[in-house]
Structure 1
Amino acid sequence: MLKIGDSKLINSWAFYDWANSVYSLVISTAVFPLYYSAVTEGKTVSFLFMDWDHPDSLYSYALSFSFLIVAFISPILSGIADYTGNKKKFMKFFCWMGGLSVCSLYFFDGIDTVWIGIVFTILASVGFWASLVFYNAYLPEVAHPEQQDRASAKGFIYGYIGSVILLVINLILIQKPDLFGLTSGMASRISFVLVGIWWIGFAQITFKRLPNNVYNKKPKADYIWRGFRELKIVAKQVIEYPTLKKFLIAFFLLSVGVQTIILLATIFGSTELGLETIDLIITVLLIQIVAILGAFLFSRISEKKGNFFALKVTIIIWMIVCFCAFLLHKDLPNVSIYFYSLGGVLGLVLGAIQSLTRSTYSKLLPETEDHATFFSFYDVTEKIAIVLGTFVYGLLYAITDSMQWSVLCLALFFLASLIILSTLKRTKYVQ
């Protein structure tokens, strides 16, 4: 078995980002939302014995529901996983669940099968986010504290590269279906299958080398109740460590901004700025490519200047992005060029902030064997932030009839996070 700090072990762990990131780009961001909108546009959808005149709202509710499921089950399952030492088994289960659910989206081929799209959207989302809880929890078990910034960045870099490669393949398939003897709808559905196969297939490289039951735990028969007890112990520790507790609050506030912008950037571009689909896809690709550089660059900055310094720099840039987005409007000459530029800046700090928050949290943890349970609190914090962020964004849009004010409001969450980060005391591994 490979030991902690071994480069082969770190690379194998990071490769799960290569495997699963195609879901977040192709399914969550680029291809599936556009396919769903095309199928349901101008139509009434029946689901759960109700008629939905606005199918896009049904889709957003389905995603919100999946986040709530993960927020509820991940602490419970993580407590059981830590007590039994079976993180890898849980991670495998949710990986297969997510990958097979994505493949099943192939059967969503028209208005009569919208229920298939909704049900498997929920299951795929739960599989993706739940598997990440256990994946992130492996970071302190594969890399030493001084290696964790680079290891975390490497994962995101692998993820961005892999997802861009498959997205380009899928876009060729969808844009030129005649070359493959397909219709455009069939090409989109095949792209969903490719995502599931890619996710499950490349994940096997990670599963082959990741250790299981690192601490040689031997669970007793009542492991479910003992798992709950494990959860209670960790919750108490989170409260008792002031730096860890404050960091989670700061992470919650910045996640409100980050995750809301990630989820709604393309909607802002299409609805508020009137951009074409091709402009939005180009921007998404640009963000992913620049994010590779951002994750690498800021991992080096954190090594020289410290995690807190690097995080504060990224947050300031996120605030600038919010302000610049507020100034954009559809009547602005060459608005697409400005949107591309904003996407480039966004990409620079997107990879950075996602990588740094994960490694910083890992380095702030106390000496513990309950890594999955600790990371479940990290994950729940992010999911609740998504729910709040999208709610605030939608509420302000409804009040002002402009997404510009919604974007500007997100800057306040970044500012609050910056203030809290500035109060955190340095630790042995986090400067």
Structure 2
Amino acid sequence: MTAEITDPATGASERKREQRGWYFYDFACSVYSTSVLTVFLGPYLTSVAKAAADADGFVRPLGVPLRAGSVFAYAVSASVVLAVVLMPLAGAWADRTGRKKPLLAVAAYTGAAATAGMFFLGGDRYLLGALLLIVANASLAVSMVLYNSYLPQIAAPDERDAVSSRGWAFGYTSGALVLVLNLVLYSGHESFGLTESEAVRICLASAGVWWGAFTLIPLRRLRDRRAGGAAPGGPGGVGSGWRQLAATLKDMRRHPLTLSFLLAYLVYNDGIQTVISQASVYGSEELGLDQTTLIVAVLLVQILAVAGALGMGRLAGTYGAKRTILCSLGVWTAILTAGYFLPARSPGWFYALAAAIGLVLGGSQALSRSLFSHLVPRGKEAEYFSAYEMSDRGLSWLGPLFFGLAYQLTGSYRDAIISLVIFFVLGFALLARVPVRRAVAAAGNPVPDRI
């Protein structure tokens, strides 16, 4: 059994049309990851939490003492725990019924609404901010399960590295475009008659509006496929989700090499996601950089990530996805080491580090996604991609928790950032041991010439 395209009757023109629609979900939701999670929400929620803190710098939700500076990291971890519960259910339901689009719509618009609601985050409402972050992050994770599971259905095996890389490039393009608009609004907020807080809240809310508006394009172009194993009215509902999850995990044990890749990806991607979500907090709190500097740095990441995703996609065509990913992990390790020694109040050095991140960020993620698509048995795309998304976002609570605890114990963001090196070193070692050609064949899929 092969896993080329689930519907082999799909014509080339129809497939290209779906691919173009598919790219636009990256275009829609990446603005949340960039403007909200990476740039604005971390420093802003931290400042809101500090406004609510006691004289010792602690807030006490439900009586639990937390450093105000750790609230954002802990909220990210909590969002991922919720996603762990929801993603397998969504993936199992989608595969059993073949109805991915309705679930994609619900997840996307729940996340977009929560993000738009961040306009009301002000004063000392850190609990509201944490709640909206948890809902938006978990919704994004569920939507990405469904979005990623379309890849093996709309792209042949030899197309997937390029298609996946283009999706990431679309996402980074939208992130860069919106960040330019954010930079204009934030840096000129006084000329617009806005306070700094109002400008930040508008930037946060606009990401939700963008997410919702551009989600309409993939919802119009992508199409549902009839499920192979269950009739539309059959047992595909949430009630059978946990039984289906147990069956999925049991089935994945029959593909130990696929699981080996997932373990490696879980580890190194945990490091990537934590760097993305905590970089602005590190820049503002430890390095003393202002919000404008952080926006410009992330804008630089977005611009270079487009070239990086496309360039690493081409490198994968020559050297294979696995080797290219391994090289990127070496670069990530060097980036964190350099970040530890970065001098405070030095925007130039921070920009240099941002440029290095941009060159490896998109390619690391795009090639991991396309490589995994070769390891998925046909007909189980959403189920397996729910496990992948658990590695991508669903189990990425470890990194932020590790980062938050390191800061809680040491009071130093430098110690927190250097602690993340372990994720890249261990992830490199685990990925290097995976025989990917054997893993593709064991999943029943054709083995590409370069992988």
Q: How does 1:225-304 map to 2 (within 5 A)?
A: 225-304=239-318
Match for 2:373 among 362, 368, 374? 362
Q: Which amino acid aligns with 1:108?
A: L
Q: Which amino acid aligns with 1:30?
A: V
Q: Which amino acid aligns with 2:434?
A: L
Match for 1:394 among 374, 381, 404? 404
Deviations 1:285-334 (A, max 9, x none): 1111111111000001111111111111111111221222233343xxx8
Tell whether 2:225 aligns with 1:213: yes
Tell whether 2:34 aligns with 1:25: yes
Q: How many residues align?
A: 426
Shift of 1:401: 4.8
Distance change >3 Å, CA 364–CA 166, structure 1 → 2: same
Q: Which residue of 2 aligns with 1:110?
A: 123
Tell whether 2:112 aligns with 1:99: yes
Shift of 1:115: 4.2
Tell whether 2:68 aligns with 1:58: no
Alpha-carbon distance in structure 2 between the residues aligned to 1:370 and 1:201:
30
Alpha-carbon distance in structure 2 between the residues aligned to 1:310 and 1:37:
36
The range that moved more, 270-279 or 352-361, is 270-279
Q: Is contact 1:294–1:348 with CA below 8 Å preserved after alignment?
A: yes
Alpha-carbon distance in structure 2 between the residues aligned to 1:79 and 1:298:
32
Q: How does 1:63-74 map to 2 (within 5 A)?
A: 63-74=76-87
Q: Is contact 2:80–2:395 with CA below 8 Å preserved after alignment?
A: no
Deviations 1:113-148 (A, max 9, x none): 444333322222222121111111111111111111
Q: Which amino acid aligns with 2:375?
A: L
Alpha-carbon distance in structure 1 between the residues aligned to 2:279 and 2:288:
12
Distance change >3 Å, CA 374–CA 50, structure 1 → 2: same
Tell whether 2:392 aligns with 1:382: yes
Q: Is contact 1:137–1:375 with CA below 8 Å preserved after alignment?
A: yes
Secondary structure at the aligned position of 2:433 is classed as: coil
Of Structure 1 and Structure 2, the greater helix share is in 1
Distance change >3 Å, CA 400–CA 192, structure 1 → 2: closer
Alpha-carbon distance in structure 2 between the residues aligned to 1:417 and 1:41:
35
Shift of 1:52: 6.8
Distance change >3 Å, CA 53–CA 68, structure 1 → 2: closer
Q: How does 1:1-12 map to 2 (within 5 A)?
A: 3=10, 6-12=15-21
Shift of 1:56: 4.1
Q: How does 1:131-146 map to 2 (within 5 A)?
A: 131-146=143-158
Alpha-carbon distance in structure 2 between the residues aligned to 1:350 and 1:315:
10
Match for 1:425 among 426, 435, 438? 435
Q: Which amino acid aligns with 1:198?
A: W
Distance change >3 Å, CA 186–CA 4, structure 1 → 2: farther
With structure 2 as the length reference, what TM-score do the two structures score? 0.86
Structure 1 spans left out of the alignment, 5+ residues: none
Q: Is contact 1:148–1:359 with CA below 8 Å preserved after alignment?
A: yes
Q: Which residue of 2 aligns with 1:336?
A: 347
Q: Which residue of 2 aligns with 1:411?
A: 421
Q: Is contact 1:272–1:329 with CA below 8 Å preserved after alignment?
A: no
Distance change >3 Å, CA 110–CA 90, structure 1 → 2: same
Alpha-carbon distance in structure 2 between the residues aligned to 1:121 and 1:27:
9
Alpha-carbon distance in structure 2 between the residues aligned to 1:306 and 1:53:
45
Secondary structure at the aligned position of 1:386 is classed as: coil
Deviations 1:222-274 (A, max 9, x none): 43355444323321232221321111111012113211211222222233333
Q: Is contact 2:70–2:407 with CA below 8 Å preserved after alignment?
A: no
Alpha-carbon distance in structure 1 between the residues aligned to 2:391 and 2:262:
7
Q: Which residue of 1 aligns with 2:205?
A: 193
With structure 1 as the length reference, what TM-score do the two structures score? 0.90
Distance change >3 Å, CA 295–CA 4, structure 1 → 2: farther
Deviations 1:315-374 (A, max 9, x none): 1111221222233343xxx843222111111111111101111111111112x2121110
The range that moved more, 380-389 or 11-20, is 380-389
Distance change >3 Å, CA 185–CA 416, structure 1 → 2: closer
Distance change >3 Å, CA 327–CA 51, structure 1 → 2: closer
Match for 1:163 among 175, 184, 187? 175
Q: List structure 1 runs of 4+ shifted beyond 6 angstroms.
A: none
Distance change >3 Å, CA 178–CA 423, structure 1 → 2: closer
Alpha-carbon distance in structure 2 between the residues aligned to 1:426 and 1:28:
33
Alpha-carbon distance in structure 2 between the residues aligned to 1:107 and 1:24:
19
Q: Is contact 2:42–2:277 with CA below 8 Å preserved after alignment?
A: no
The range that moved more, 290-299 or 412-421, is 412-421
Alpha-carbon distance in structure 1 between the residues aligned to 2:61 and 2:432:
48
Q: Which residue of 1 aligns with 2:187?
A: 175
Q: Is contact 1:253–1:385 with CA below 8 Å preserved after alignment?
A: no
Tell whether 2:91 aligns with 1:78: yes
Alpha-carbon distance in structure 1 between the residues aligned to 2:93 and 2:425:
37
Secondary structure at the aligned position of 2:397 is classed as: helix
Distance change >3 Å, CA 406–CA 123, structure 1 → 2: closer
Alpha-carbon distance in structure 2 between the residues aligned to 1:215 and 1:235:
19
Tell whether 2:127 aligns with 1:120: no
Deviations 1:130-171 (A, max 9, x none): 111111111111111111111111111111111121122122
Q: Which amino acid aligns with 2:27?
A: W
Secondary structure at the aligned position of 1:315 is classed as: helix
Q: Which residue of 1 aligns with 2:4?
A: none
Q: Is contact 2:36–2:204 with CA below 8 Å preserved after alignment?
A: yes
Deviations 1:385-414 (A, max 9, x none): 422222333344455554444434433332
Alpha-carbon distance in structure 2 between the residues aligned to 1:58 and 1:267:
11
